[in-house]
Structure 1
Amino acid sequence: MDPDTVLRLAHEQAMQYPSVKIDYPFGPDNAVYKVRGKMFMMAYELRGVPSLNLKIDPLDGEVLTDAYAEISPGYHMNKKHWITVAGEGDSAGGDRLDAELLHDLVLESYCLVVTKMSKRDRPVDPDVFGGRGDD
């Protein structure tokens, strides 16, 4: 998936979630997506490539960075709890990022942040929002 499509799809998805607002605390080229004031996604350009930072469970982050060339440890973030998704990675021997995986990553990032909020401040139940917990 090309980097512009990654950013467009992630933006469209994130803006459908309750209580999401975009802020620009790091300048006009860095869109920070927040739920109730807490960051769950950031869109920016990294060396000329449109990129995203997303919150991730540390174990999932390790697996994803090993499996997908488009996913790396979070740029300028805690590399254990954040990943960077840049699109168009070298797929030699690896899987390719697709829209379904991107959807799951954005949803997971949002829900991980919501989980840390007090129950009264949560805009959704993170255990079931977006079909989570329907295993």
Structure 2
Amino acid sequence: MTPDELRALCLEFNDATEEFPFGPDTSVFKVAGKLFALSALDSEPLRVNLKCDPDEAVRLREEHPAITPGHHMNKRHWNTVTVGGLPAPMVRELVEDSYDLVVAGLPKAVRLRLDRP
């Protein structure tokens, strides 16, 4: 997966936006103003921080060397994923899971507007 493909994936979800609060080199992807993915898209190797259920986060880290505790994030709830170390469909699933976890914490009216009850 290329940086452009990762950006496109993060932006394909309802109400997803890309912002640069940490400077022009770090893309922050949000839904309804809440962070669900963070990446320096020009980094080598390409990595992305994604929100994850705490129990699932531990399991994923044990099974996949490309998944580590979230760099500069709450390590209980965030993973850093080395994109090239996983199959693209799995990266897609992890990004979608992160988006869904963030949406699940939004008010019901916002969730319904996003078609994610």
Establish whether TM, by shorter chain, passes 0.5: yes
Q: How many residues align?
A: 115
* TM-score normalised by L of structure 2: 0.88
Measure, in 1, the Cα distance between the counterparts of 2:105 and 2:93.
19
What RMSD over aligned residues (CA atoms) do the two structures have, in Å? 1.9
Measure, in 2, the Cα distance between the counterparts of 1:31 and 1:13.
13
Q: Which residue of 1 aligns with 2:95?
A: 106
- Residues 1-135 of structure 1 aligned to structure 2 (within 5 Å): 5=1, 7-44=3-40, 48-89=44-85, 97-122=86-111, 123-125=114-116
Is 1:54–1:83's contact at 8 Å kept on the other side of the alignment?
yes
CA distance 1:108–1:57, change in 2 (3 Å) = same
Shift of residue 45, structure 1, vs aligned partner: 6.3
- Identify, as 1 or 2, the structure richer in helix: 2
* TM-score normalised by L of structure 1: 0.77
Is 1:54–1:106's contact at 8 Å kept on the other side of the alignment?
yes
Shift of residue 75, structure 1, vs aligned partner: 0.2
Q: Which stretches of structure 1, 4 residues or more, deviate above 4 A after TM superposition?
A: 45-48
Q: Please, which runs of 5 or more residues in structure 2 have no aligned partner?
A: none
Q: Give me the identity figure in percent.
A: 36
Q: Highest Rg: 1 or 2?
A: 1
Is 1:10–1:106's contact at 8 Å kept on the other side of the alignment?
no
Shift of residue 124, structure 1, vs aligned partner: 2.4
